[in-house]
Structure 1
Amino acid sequence: MKQIPNLFTLLNLVFGCIAIILILQPGESITTVNGENLVINLPEKMAYASFFIFAAGIVDFLDGFLARLMKASSEMGKQLDSLSDCVTFGVAPTMIMYQLLRMSYLKEETAFDTSIWFLLPAILIACGAAWRLAKFNIDKRQSISFRGVPTPITGFMVAALPLVVWYNNWDLAPLVLNRWVLYGITVLISYLMVSDLPIMSLKFKDYSFKGNQPKIILAVISISLAVVFQWAAIPLIYLTYVALSLLLRKQIS
């Protein structure tokens, strides 16, 4: 029975691996228009990969909940959780960013001459995730709040990008497939993971408004953004989460 939480953690890893498989075989369609322009249709498989990453996030929550409920917390479970998170919320988002960068270059006439070096910055996400998880395991300051943005939240932010393009909420697909926007996102989220900035934990300490004010404010803003922007709300919620953490740092530390 004590291994049940660890089995849920492995399910997190399984979902992450499935997401990577889907990302690696996207099957995009390339159409030549007037002999010059290339039109790229984001494949469904990338969107399916995003859903597996979100499902892994639910499982990631459940394994910790079950471990506490069954009093089965262990050092092995802690390490297994970090290793699984590194794959699901580090490597899988890296592959998403790699494919999005590749697609951004495929819109150009010189698409097939693009060097792989222009796509490799995506690996910063996996490196940031690994650093963040290793730091979390040895940093005793992170029992109440985090230092740096948690890896799963970063993974959700990247996983939302293919969905924004696929559903084209608010006609944002061209913006998301702009390589300079993708480079900017990559650098920003990688830095925020490894930074020492105080970031609020999303766990509720009690049921009082005063003790959970930042989280309640975040929840209200998040619901409002989701209603208006649909999938495009997730990157906005990510930015709101970071901004609120910095503005209300005295209340979360």
Structure 2
Amino acid sequence: MTPNDRLDAGPRVPSAPRDSSEPVELEQRPPLRAIALLPSAATLGNLICGFIAVFLCMLEIRAAYSPMFPAQPRVLPHLQAYVPSYIAYAAYLIIAAMIFDALDGRLARIARRTSEFGAQLDSIADIVSFGVAPVAMYLTVLLQRFAPAEADPTVSAALWRVGLIGGLVYLSCAAIRLARYNAENVRDESATRKFSGLPTPGAAAGFTALLLLHEQWVHDGGSFGGADAAAVLRWAIAPVAFGIGMLMVSRLDYVHVFNVYVRREHPPTHLVALVVLAIATWYSPEIMLTLGAFAYIVSGMLLNLLRRKTSLRGGLPASAHVHHHN
């Protein structure tokens, strides 16, 4: 026993309890000194696409309320049919954001530089591109109907309230989904085959596809059962957005499309099917994107229902077959 030990061997006086009003020092992490450039650049590309989509919403409102400004974005003549409005332009930017979102994770794994920084930056970009932007686009569509030049008797204050509630629920669920993902998920998702809950890019794909379909129907004058198809769709988007939001925060399993369908090998016939789908998308992008997005959204519900029925037949609880990944 050292002299210091002897001095410390006497009775100890209990320390005074900490005052709860005193500030608690946060644990300091080592300063960030380096980041992976290519994955971070792809994530910023995602963020920028989302921001420009929101900015195009402002241009759409400006054009609706002021005839001084062009009603359509300036694009190449042969692309005018695909981009009839600023909202349609914004929808394609959300699709570009999804491509950037898929690239950043692949680039990070190629560079072997997955990090907490990349995960946090990715979530910030996702909430802008897949949360804020689709809601801003939908509310812009509703506001545009109130413009003097776009007076529409089918639009009422009730539609605005329903649309606002549906959009805010969707946005809130997207934020919760991303926060839950960061709290529960490991950094490297290269081996992940399932997501727990509808991923935000998949949710945004469904929301954005409906908006793109709406803009095309406004441009072409589509009808649905004798009624204005675009007007019917404006009412339908709000409850759909609400439902998509609930699926994001659910615990339903959704397939990781890239890891399951893109990374593994497939028979040559799948390549032919891919070419056919690409041609169909070129001729009718709004229809094909809507069908593809909602096929994925519905797939989670169908697969979980099938798993539950299989579990009940086997005498096992359905939860025994569910593996949650974010």
TM-score band (shorter)?
0.7 to 0.9
Q: Note the 1:178-217 alignment, pairs <5 A.
A: 178=232, 179-205=234-260, 207=264
Specify the alignment match of 1:91 in structure 2.
132
The question of 1:62 aligning with 2:103 is answered: yes
The question of 1:24 aligning with 2:48 is answered: no
**CA distance 1:116–1:237, shift in 2 (3 Å):** closer
- Counterpart-to-counterpart distance in 2, 1:246 and 1:209: 25
TM-score where L is the length of structure 2: 0.61
Identify which of 293, 297, 300 aligns with 1:238: 293
Residues 135 and 168 of structure 2 are in contact (CA less than 8 Å); yes or no, is this contact kept in structure 1? yes
Specify the alignment match of 1:81 in structure 2.
122
Specify the alignment match of 1:147 in structure 2.
196
Residues 101 and 177 of structure 1 are in contact (CA less than 8 Å); yes or no, is this contact kept in structure 2? no
- Counterpart-to-counterpart distance in 1, 2:124 and 2:84: 29
TM-score where L is the length of structure 1: 0.77
Aligned-residue offset at 1:165: 2.7
Percent of aligned pairs sharing the same letter? 28
Identify which of 141, 166, 170 aligns with 2:215: 166
**CA distance 1:102–1:204, shift in 2 (3 Å):** same
Bigger radius of gyration, 1 or 2?
2
Residues 124 and 187 of structure 1 are in contact (CA less than 8 Å); yes or no, is this contact kept in structure 2? yes
Deviates further, 191-200 or 85-94 = 191-200
Q: Runs of 5+ in structure 2 lacking a partner?
A: 1-34, 66-70, 73-82, 308-320
Deviates further, 59-68 or 154-163 = 154-163
Aligned-residue offset at 1:137: 1.5
Secondary structure, counterpart of 1:199 in structure 2: strand
- Counterpart-to-counterpart distance in 2, 1:231 and 1:252: 34
More helix by share: 1
The question of 1:6 aligning with 2:40 is answered: yes
- Counterpart-to-counterpart distance in 2, 1:147 and 1:222: 28
Secondary structure, counterpart of 1:244 in structure 2: helix
- Counterpart-to-counterpart distance in 1, 2:291 and 2:46: 25
Aligned-residue offset at 1:17: 0.6
The question of 1:72 aligning with 2:113 is answered: yes
Aligned-residue offset at 1:133: 0.8
Specify the alignment match of 2:87 in structure 1.
46
- Counterpart-to-counterpart distance in 1, 2:230 and 2:104: 33
Secondary structure, counterpart of 1:248 in structure 2: helix
Aligned-residue offset at 1:77: 0.1
The question of 1:126 aligning with 2:171 is answered: yes
**CA distance 1:12–1:140, shift in 2 (3 Å):** closer
Q: Deviations over 1:27-60 (max 9, x none)?
A: 4548xxxxxxxxx999621111111111111111
Aligned-residue offset at 1:108: 1.7
- Counterpart-to-counterpart distance in 2, 1:196 and 1:104: 37
**Letter paired with 2:94:** I
Q: How many residues align?
A: 238
Aligned-residue offset at 1:22: 0.4
Aligned-residue offset at 1:98: 1.1
- Counterpart-to-counterpart distance in 2, 1:225 and 1:189: 26
Aligned-residue offset at 1:78: 0.5
Cα RMSD (Å): 3.7
Aligned-residue offset at 1:232: 2.0
Aligned-residue offset at 1:87: 0.4
Aligned-residue offset at 1:233: 2.5
- Counterpart-to-counterpart distance in 1, 2:98 and 2:168: 21
Aligned-residue offset at 1:247: 3.0
**Letter paired with 1:23:** C
**Letter paired with 1:238:** A
- Counterpart-to-counterpart distance in 1, 2:250 and 2:184: 13
**Letter paired with 1:10:** L
Deviates further, 171-180 or 120-129 = 171-180
Deviates further, 172-181 or 229-238 = 172-181
Residues 170 and 245 of structure 2 are in contact (CA less than 8 Å); yes or no, is this contact kept in structure 1? yes
- Counterpart-to-counterpart distance in 1, 2:280 and 2:322: 23
